[in-house]
Amino acid sequence: MERELSGKPSAGAGRHPLPAARDFAAAAQRWGINPDSEVVIYDGTRALAAARAWWLLRHAGLSKVRVLNGGLDAWTRAGYSLDIEEVKARPGSVELGWDKLPVIDIDEAEGFPGVLLDARAFERYTGASEPIDPRAGHIPGALSSPTTENLGADGRFLDPEALEVRFAQLGVHATEGGAGAVGAYCGSGVTAAHQILALVTIGISASLFPGSWSQYSSDPTRTPATGQTP
């Protein structure tokens, strides 16, 4: 996450800015990815890190990318074994691009014309708690949509029907959703990728605000909203 799935943090770009396209392309080749590779990503953090890697690879133009639903816990619960040996990949030859998925900047997030979803915990959205970033609250107009509500107790994504109901309650509908209609942010642009992955499973495209709250709250010219309403 810190070395290959993010760029250098700063107040102006956020805690986990997107990596440079050239750096990410080099990392993908180190991982052994080839032009015809199908990539499956998993983690042990309820798909939060895996969703970031999924989003980046899709943003870079790789189409055959999946996230293992339920992650490492689901793998072990299913009775599959684990290897303790280090795996060294043979360098791959994939040539990646960039800008294949929609993103919005801080100004576009603040004036977003559609539904802007805040993927952080509800207490951070309201401003009741802010353990990481300079100021508490949320981007004016954003709706609270904690990423944890995309998952069941087993750490797997809710089935599509349940996700459709969840997002419809926020005004996001599969028949209407598009990158210009839905945006997502979180603390530093990582959890928001998880939100976008959940939306993709029901056919909705959403724009990512990479700098997210860590960038917005660091800008003294911005005025956060607090409380339970947008």
Q: Give the dihedral sign, CA 81/86/89/95.
A: positive
Catalytic position from the list 57, 62, 94, 186? 186
Taking 3-state DSSP, the helix, strand and coil percentages for the chain, each rounded to the nearest 5, stand at: 30, 10, 60
Cα–Cα distance between 75 and 10 in angstroms, integer? 36
| Residue 134 burial class via C-beta count within 10 angstroms: exposed 0-12, middle 13-18, buried 19 and up | middle
Least Cα distance to 137 among 145, 123, 126 occurs for 126
Contacting residues for 114 by C-beta, under 8 A, at least 6 apart = 180, 181, 182, 183
Q: Rounded to an integer, what is the distance from CA 88 to the centroid of its chain?
A: 27
Q: Is 185 a catalytic residue?
A: no
Cα–Cα distance between 72 and 47 in angstroms, integer? 9
Task: Cite the active site residues.
Answer: 186
